[in-house]
Amino acid sequence: MTQTHRSPLQVPCPRCRTPVQWVEENQFRPFCSERCKLIDLGAWADGAHRIAGEPAMDETEIDEMILRAERGEMGKDD
């Protein structure tokens, strides 16, 4: 083994695609900066909040409901 020196793994920042060195010193990894990390966590928390709260209908479910209503399947209790 002659290759003893390894360059640290580089990953693109999930927010802005800036190459980030995956090293212990980088406390914001995989993000390039605290700013990018906070933005991403904020976006994630926003989505998580929606999932954790009242089940919101997505467009697919709404389309399905409309289709059922048009077929006269609404309000039927099996």
Which stretch of DSSP H or E encloses residue 11? strand 10-12
Residue 9 and residue 6: Cα distance in Å, rounded? 9
Q: Which two structure tokens, joined as six digits, stand for 9? A: 């793994």
| Least separation in angstroms between CB 36 and Zn ion | 3
16-75: contacts with Zn ion (CB under 5 A): 16, 18, 32, 36
| Residue with Cβ nearer Zn ion (17 or 68) | 17
Which C-beta is closer to Zn ion: that of 15 or that of 29?
15
Rounded to 10 degrees, what is the CA torsion of 14, 20, 25, 31?
Answer: -20
Stretch that binds Zn ion, among 15-23, 40-48, 52-60, 69-77 (CB under 5 A): 15-23
Give the three-class secondary structure for 40: helix
Nearest approach in angstroms of CB 40 to Zn ion is: 9
Q: Which residues bind Zn ion (CB under 5 A)?
A: 13, 15-16, 18, 32, 36
